[in-house]
């Protein structure tokens, strides 16, 4: 029995992967445009790229697929992760180590050539010609015996670019700098920008850099002061995927697991889901985030493939699945939500905040005005399912504005929930919160009441 459930779990974890990036192109849904952009970039000499967007939208998944495509095109690809407190020299040292570039010099006294490294791992050496002056970027200090005492110059973008130059085998390099948003140091941003400029000289280097990280703008990722070399750098912003892609992730996964999705039910009684099919409900909760299609899919499959689930995904299965989804969601989101709720005094104030948050999650995903939210509040309170959850709650337009404003404030415990986009437009600072609150709202009434205590 236990073994069977382990097998089932293994099967599910191969199909739904909420916390692991996609690495097979056939599993990457709704990203045709981004992938063809990268195919172009890989074939544009000297072109570098930056891949950015909100958290968890699928940047690493795109980067993994780009890696596969590049490898098919004879690139040698290395993924290098960045960390908080990284400096340029720490990052470049890591790049050279992980790309297996042996950056120790080998001087050849018979000619004017100096080689950095005799090998890239076991793959071959990298050569560059000593400049006419004999001065080398990776300082070679000649002793009396002519043996070189060598100091790698990891802090110098031009030295690093040379060390990364094309492999002697003729292969080009692609370095993927992952989680670059963790880097905070401005000097590092400047030097990375400098390296991008240098590497855009394809003739000399044949090495591409793909910088990946969480950011609303490319400037934000490379530091407010980073001067981005526009011509050398293609910026690819990762946005949400469309509803069809979300639906496909869920449906394909269920089909692979042999689960059947319940057909739309005839209107029975009073449920929030009467007008929606199950798939529409799932898609609505995901707000364009593939992550949530995987998470909801995973939890539904666990129940449906469990002892008496009967392999059918029905609304009761979905509701039960949503209960565990809110527990499994990423800690950052759960903590921010709990802080917001706990910092409000009394059930009424908690409910009011929750209502405004939920109303905002029903607005346009990318930007909304305070008036849009107030209108959604009005609409929601007319709906049986929600008015049940917000019993006796009446929010005037004015009150809705003031709650909205309080959710824009950063407190000592949590970041602001909404951020200002432009003019009268706002958005969720972390759009995953819209998905989280829409899953929370579906919790069983008893759990819901407990939350607001
Ligand atoms: N286009 C897609 N099709 C199917 N699943 C996807 C797609 N993009 C992302 N996913 C899934 O969404 C989840 C998050 O993806 P990923 O880790 O690539 O996001 P990310 O933007 O790199 O996240 P972070 O900001 O935390 O680094 C993973 O479970 C991944 O399997
Ligand atoms: Mg990532």
Whether the CA torsion 12, 18, 24, 30 is positive or negative: it is positive
Atom of ligand 1 nearest to the CA of 245: 3
Give the model confidence (pLDDT) of 350-392 as tens digits: 888 999 999 999 987 789 999 999 889 888 888 888 888 888 7
Q: Are 239 and 193 in contact (CB under 8 A)?
A: no
Give the model confidence (pLDDT) of 400-420 as tens digits: 788 888 888 887 777 889 998
Kindly report the CA angle at 169 between 166 and 174, in degrees rounded to 5? 40
Alpha carbon of 17 to ligand 1 centroid (Å)? 9
State the ligand closest to the CA atom of 56.
1
What's the per-residue H, E or C state across the chain? CHHHHHHHHHHHHHHCCCCCCCCCHHHCCCCHHHHHHHHHHHHCCCCEEEEEECCCCCHHHHHHHHHHHHHHCCEEEEEEECCCCCCHHHHHHHHHHHCCECCCEEECCCCCEEEECCCECCCCCEEEECCCCCCCCCCEEECCCCCEEECCCCCCHHHHHHHCCCCCCCCEEEEEEECHHHCCCHHHHHHHHHHHHHHCCHHHHCEEEEEEEECCCHHHHCCCCCCCCHHHEEEEEECCCCHHHHHHHHHHHHHHCCCEECCCCCCCCCCCCCCCCHHHHHHHHHCCCHHHHHHHHHHHHHHHCCCCCCCEECHHHHHHHHHHHHHHCCHHHHHHHHHHHHCCCHHHHHHHHHHHHHHHHCCCCCCECHHHHHHHHHHHHCCHHHHHHCCCCCCCHHHHHHHHHHCCCCCCCCCCCEEEEECCEEEECCCHHHHHHHHHCCCCHHHHHHHCC
Atom of ligand 1 nearest to the CA of 62: 18
Confidence of residue 446 (pLDDT cuts 50, 70, 90): confident
Cβ of 240 less than 6 Å from ligand 1: no
Query: What is the average pLDDT score of the chain?
Result: 84
Looking at ligand 1, which residue's alpha carbon is closest to its atom 6?
A: 290
* Residues in a beta bridge with 127: 115
Residue 289 has pLDDT above 50, yes or no: yes
Whether the CA torsion 383, 385, 386, 388 is positive or negative: it is positive
Mean pLDDT of 331-335: 90
Atom of ligand 1 nearest to the CA of 55: 25
Cβ of 247 less than 6 Å from ligand 1: no
Confidence of residue 273 (pLDDT cuts 50, 70, 90): very low
Cβ of 61 less than 6 Å from ligand 1: yes
Exposure of 298 in the CB half-sphere (CA atoms within 13 A): 21
Confidence of residue 100 (pLDDT cuts 50, 70, 90): confident
Alpha carbon of 199 to ligand 1 centroid (Å)? 28
For a substitution probing ligand 1, which of 290, 294, 296 has the most ligand atoms within 8 Å of its CB? 290
Confidence of residue 260 (pLDDT cuts 50, 70, 90): very high
Cβ of 25 less than 6 Å from ligand 1: no
Residue 53 has pLDDT above 70, yes or no: yes
Confidence of residue 2 (pLDDT cuts 50, 70, 90): low
pTM of the model: 0.86
Query: What is the β-pairing status of strands 312-313 and 260-261?
Result: parallel
Confidence of residue 399 (pLDDT cuts 50, 70, 90): confident
Confidence of residue 147 (pLDDT cuts 50, 70, 90): very low
Looking at ligand 1, which residue's alpha carbon is closest to its atom 4?
A: 28
């Amino acid at each position: 029995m236990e073994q069977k459930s382990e097998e089932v779990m293994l099967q599910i974890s191969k199909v739904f992967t909420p916390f692991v990036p996609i690495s097979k192109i056939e599993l990457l849904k709704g990203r045709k445009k981004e992938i063809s952009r990268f195919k172009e970039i890989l074939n544009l000499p000297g072109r570098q790229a930056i891949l950015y967007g909100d958290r968890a939208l699928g940047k690493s998944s795109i980067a993994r697929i780009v890696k596969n495509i590049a490898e098919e095109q004879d690139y040698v690809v290395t993924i290098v992760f960045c960390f908080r407190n990284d400096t340029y020299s720490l990052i470049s040292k890591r790049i050279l180590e992980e790309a297996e570039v042996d950056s120790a010099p080998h001087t050849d006294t018979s000619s004017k050539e100096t080689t950095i490294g005799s090998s890239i791992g076991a793959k071959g050496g990298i050569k560059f010609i000593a400049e006419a002056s004999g001065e080398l970027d990776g300082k070679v200090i000649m002793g009396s015996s002519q043996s070189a005492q060598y100091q790698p110059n990891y802090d110098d973008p031009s030295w690093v670019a040379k060390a990364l130059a094309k492999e002697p085998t003729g292969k080009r390099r692609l370095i993927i700098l992952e989680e670059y948003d963790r880097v905070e140091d401005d000097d590092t941003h400047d030097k990375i920008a400098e390296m991008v400029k240098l590497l855009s000289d394809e003739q000399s280097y044949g090495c591409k850099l793909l910088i990946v990280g969480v950011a609303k703008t490319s400037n934000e990722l490379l530091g407010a002061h980073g001067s981005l070399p526009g011509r050398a750098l293609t910026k690819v912003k990762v946005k949400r995927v469309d509803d069809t892609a979300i639906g496909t992730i869920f449906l394909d996964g269920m089909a692979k697991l042999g689960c059947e999705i319940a057909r739309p039910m005839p209107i029975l009684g009073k449920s929030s889901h009467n007008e929606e099919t199950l798939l529409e409900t799932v898609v609505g909760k995901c707000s364009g985030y593939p992550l949530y299609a995987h998470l909801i899919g995973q939890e539904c499959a666990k129940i449906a493939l469990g002892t008496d689930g009967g392999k059918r995904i029905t609304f009761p299965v979905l509701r039960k699945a949503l209960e565990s989804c809110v527990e499994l969601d990423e800690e950052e989101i759960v903590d921010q939500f709990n802080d917001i709720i706990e910092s409000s005094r009394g059930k009424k104030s908690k409910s009011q905040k929750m209502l405004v948050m939920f109303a905002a999650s029903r607005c346009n995903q990318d930007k909304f005005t305070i008036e849009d939210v107030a209108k959604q509040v009005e609409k929601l309170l007319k709906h049986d399912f929600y008015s049940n959850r917000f019993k006796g709650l009446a929010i005037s337009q004015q009150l809705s504005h003031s709650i909205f404003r309080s959710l824009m404030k950063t407190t000592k415990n949590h970041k602001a929930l909404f951020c200002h986009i432009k003019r009268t437009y706002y958005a969720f600072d972390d759009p995953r919160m819209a998905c989280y609150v829409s899953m929370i709202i579906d919790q069983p009434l008893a759990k819901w009441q407990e939350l607001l205590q």
